[in-house]
Structure formats: structure tokens, C-alpha cells
Amino acid sequence: MSNEMKAMRIHELGGGFQLENIPIPKPGPNEALLKLKATGVGLTLAIMRKTQGLINNYPRVMGHEIAGEVVEIGSEVPSEIINIGDIATCHFYLTCKNCNYCRSGRESLCENFKGFFGLVMDGGYAEYTVVPAVNLCKVPSEVTPLDACLAADAICTPYHNCITEAQIKPGNTVAICGAGGGVAIHAVQMAQLCGGHVIGIDVSNKKLEAVSELGAFATVNPMENDVTEELFALTDGKGVDVYIDYVATKETLEIGMDTLGRAGKLIIVGYRPPSAFDGTLPNFSVDPLKVLNNAQEIHGSRYCSMDELRQSLELLRQKKIKPIVTETFKLEELEIAFQALLKNKVTGRAAILFD
């Protein structure tokens, strides 16, 4: 193989991607080199690209939702973790694997968090990438690389949201805000897999059609209807059992608080840094008496554990979750993909497919 690869790199905070030929990275003793097959493109990175303090060095290759073939492994990597020829995906958080949170399966709360794969080290918008072996997760042979890359965020995040945080039970009504987006569209499915009765909320009717096709019993478009009124009407005035917010503006979070029923749970997943949007703070108000009297819960839900990533791949293998990728792009078209996302034009996920 040649010593160089194509990579899309950014050179400054919020800067555009530039196609460059750079040396293929060398894996260290505890790392592996992957030849990329597919890398997801989602709003998370479109936001992170513009957020101060996440990328520690420029130029940088972003891209965390990866699936690739292992082509080289470091001398210290145990064969139990990964072998040459395996297809692997990657846990997004670089964690210590040693603190109490890591050891109790809550890696996303790591006390010694080192940053994100694809932000403090180069990621998957290149032909090759180096990944710490402890972050690698082997992909079952029945799962295609395109589907597997989604497991690394668009599917494992809703797994954590619906199963670990919301603990959705059969018969629960679950409102999903931003339901047609790349992560949320898989939450629509995950919530139903738990037995939830899903109401999808989105500003795009095209996205809501996709949400309905996936089984949501009702959809609400805030541009056409009052969401609070609709959620009470759809629940016989009781309010929802779970409200998962993938948009998380002041407005959407307050609708969530207003429409929670008894013992209702608000799950906060998205965050919009004011600097990356229009400067508006997403801080929202909470009526403590209502929370107290109704024993309601507010959950912050951060990414997932390694186990949850494995379980997400297993759900793909069992075909219990349908991966929704509506648009694929070549590596060189990455900026076009990001712009389509920022214009809210992509239903479900977009992804880069490699030759």
C-alpha cells in the first residue's frame, strides 16, 4: 500500500473540510489501524466542529461513527480484542477504563475523560484511521459496514436513552422531539422495541412520514400545531410517560416539562451551544412543586457504555432495528453532506461510503 491517503481535514474552529493527501498514520503498541469502509455524518459533529474547546489541535480529521477493516495491529493488542481482517467500529469517548464510573459501565462519566475520538485524535473522514484498541468493538459478520457505523452513535445513543435512562415499559407513551433526525429516528424504533407507544415531533413533514412508517402512532409538527395541546389530547389529558429531547432548545425542553405526566421522565440528549447557533441559551425553567408532586425525573443522557455499543450491534444482527441511512456521499463530498444536515434536509443518517 502507498504511504499516503486521502483525508478531509479542518484547519480552524468551524472551518470547512479540505481534501488533502497526508501520510497513513502508524498504530502505537496499544492501537490498531483501520481501512475505513463507512463513516456516519451527523449533526453532532456539525455542532462540535463549531464548539470551542473540543478539538485540541489543527489540522484535524473528524469522524467518529466509523466502520473499517483492521489492517494493522500494535504489538500489545490482545487477540481477544481484535485481529487483522476483522471489521470494527469504535466507542466515541476516550476514557481511562479504570475509574469507578468506567468500571461500573458508565464510561461516559469517566473522571479522567481524555476527549472524543475524532476530536482530540484523528478520526474517520480519511481512508485510514488509528483507534485505541480498548475503544474497538468487533462487528458481527452479518452486519454491513454501512449499518455498523451507525451503531457507534445513531443506534447506541438511543439504546442508552430508551433502555438505561428512560427505562421505557410496555404501554408507556413516549414523545420524541426531533424524531426524524439521525439519532432520534432510531430512538423511534428503540422505544417501540421496549414496548413504548411513540409520538414523533418534528418540523419536517417529510421526516414525520418516515417516523410514521416506522410505527409511531401519532406525529406532531410544531409549525402546524400546538405541541403541548396535541400531547395532552393524544394521552387523554394525562401527559406523556417519557419525553426524549434530541433538539433541546429552551422551547422544546419546556414543552417536555409541561407535558410530562405522573412519574414522567424528561430525557435530555441534545445540546445546542449558543456559540454554534444563534447565541440563544437553551436554559429552561422548571416548576419544582410540579416535579415534586408528580415524582417526575429529569435525566441527562450521555452517549453509552461499551456494553451498550455491543448490544446495539447485536440488535442490528438480529434485525430488530432498521438502520436508516437516506443519503450516502463520497469522502470528497463531506462538506456537501454537512451543509445538507445543517439545512435540516437529511431524514435519518447520512454517511460517507469508501471504495
**Helical (H) or strand (E) element with 178:** none
The amino acid at 46:
A
Q: Does 95 bind Zn ion (CB under 5 A)?
A: yes
Q: Does 185 bind Zn ion (CB under 5 A)?
A: no
Segment lying near Zn ion (by CB under 5 A), choices 82-90, 94-102, 298-306, 334-342: 94-102
Nearest distance in Å: CB 107, Zn ion: 7
Alpha-carbon 27 to chain mean position: 26
User: Of the candidates 102, 139, 149, 337, which one interacts with Zn ion according to CB under 5 A?
Assistant: 102
Kindly determine how many residues on this chain lie close enough to bind Zn ion according to the rule CB under 5 A.
5
Segment lying near Zn ion (by CB under 5 A), choices 23-31, 65-73, 102-110, 165-173: 102-110
Nearest distance in Å: CB 138, Zn ion: 22
Pairing of the two strands 136-138 and 87-90: antiparallel
User: Of the candidates 13, 99, 134, 291, which one interacts with Zn ion according to CB under 5 A?
Assistant: 99
The answer to whether 248 touches 255, Cβ cutoff 8 Å, is: no
Segment lying near Zn ion (by CB under 5 A), choices 39-47, 109-117, 180-188, 317-325: 109-117
Q: Does 13 bind Zn ion (CB under 5 A)?
A: no
User: Of the candidates 24, 41, 110, 155, which one interacts with Zn ion according to CB under 5 A?
Assistant: 110
Planar angle of CA 180, 185, 186, nearest 5 degrees = 170
Integer Cα distance of 241 and 295 in angstroms: 12
Q: Does 96 bind Zn ion (CB under 5 A)?
A: yes
Cβ proximity to Zn ion: between 131 and 324 the closer is 131
Contacts made by residues 328-335, CB under 8 angstroms, sequence distance 24+: 328/146, 328/352, 328/353, 329/41, 329/353, 331/6, 331/8, 331/19, 331/125, 331/126, 331/127, 332/6, 332/8, 332/19, 334/8, 334/17, 334/41, 334/125, 335/8, 335/16, 335/17
Cβ proximity to Zn ion: between 45 and 110 the closer is 110
Torsion of CA 134, 68, 152, 180, to 10 degrees: 170
Segment lying near Zn ion (by CB under 5 A), choices 10-18, 83-91, 104-112, 311-319: 104-112
Q: Which residues are near Zn ion by CB under 5 A?
A: 95-96, 99, 102, 110
